[in-house]
Amino acid sequence: MEFNVKTLEGKDAGKVSLSEEIFGLEPREDLIARMIRYQLAKKRAGTHKIKGRSEVSRTGSKMYKQKGTGRARHHSARAPQFRGGGKAHGPVVRSHAHDLPKKVRALALRHALSAKMKSEDVIIVDNLVAAEAKTKLLVGSFASLGLTNALVIGGAEIDSNFKLAASNIPNIDVLPVQGINVYDILRRGKLVLSKAAVEALEERFK
C-alpha cells in the first residue's frame, strides 16, 4: 500500500510503500488484549509483602498451660488470631509475569500497527531530526502535524536534539524502533513513524 510521507513541518515529502502483512491486517482484539495483559503483568513490581507468623517479633513460648484453665488450647502468640500475630495467607514477594509465545507477541505487534492504520492514526515523517534542542520549536512542528498525544518511533538511533526537545512535551513519547511495543502504541492517540522505523519494521517481519 502507498502512504504519504510528511516532513516535521507538515509538508509533503513523497510516498512510501507499506507491507500489507504489517499494516494491512484486520485487527484482532483478542491478540492485542493478550499482549497488553502480558506487558502489564510483567511490569508489576510484585514487592507486596506482609509478615507471617514465623516472621513477626513476638515470643514463641506457650501462652499458658495446656490444661486446667478452662480456656482454649493455644501455643504461640504469633498465631494470626491474636493481635500482633502474623497475617494468615498474606501477600508475598513474587513475579506476576506469565508466558506468551514469541510468535503471538510478534503477531500482536503487527495487529496493533494495523489497528492504528485502520483508524487513520498513523503519520510517517521523512526524518526525526531537530536543528536545536528547543522544545518550543518542536511544539510548533508537532502543531503543524496536529500532534498533541502521540508515540514517536525513530530509527535505531534517535537524534539527541530531537529527543531532548521532545522530553518536556506532555503526552509525547519517543522511542527507538527496537523499543516499539503494543501497550505504548495503543495508549497514545497518534503513531508517528520515521522512514527508518518503517524500513526496520519491514526488515524485522520478513
- 136-168: pLDDT as tens digits: 999 999 998 989 999 999 998 999 999 999 998
CA distance 129 to 8: 9
Over residues 166-177, the pLDDT tens digits come to 998 999 999 999
Residues 61 and 149 in one domain: no
Query: Which positions ≥6 away from 65 have C-beta within 8 Å?
Result: none
Structural domains counted in the chain: 2
Between CA 180 and CA 185, with CA 184 as vertex, the angle to 5 degrees is 75
Range of the domain at 164: 1-43+97-203
Residues 103 and 185 in one domain: yes
Between 196 and 12, the higher pLDDT residue: 196
Residues 113 and 150 in one domain: yes
Q: What is the pLDDT of residue 47?
A: 95
Residues 32 and 53 in one domain: no
Residues 149 and 56 in one domain: no
168 residue type, one letter: N
Residues 140 and 114 in one domain: yes
pLDDT at 11 over 90: no
Q: What are phi and psi of 151, to 5 degrees?
A: -105, 125
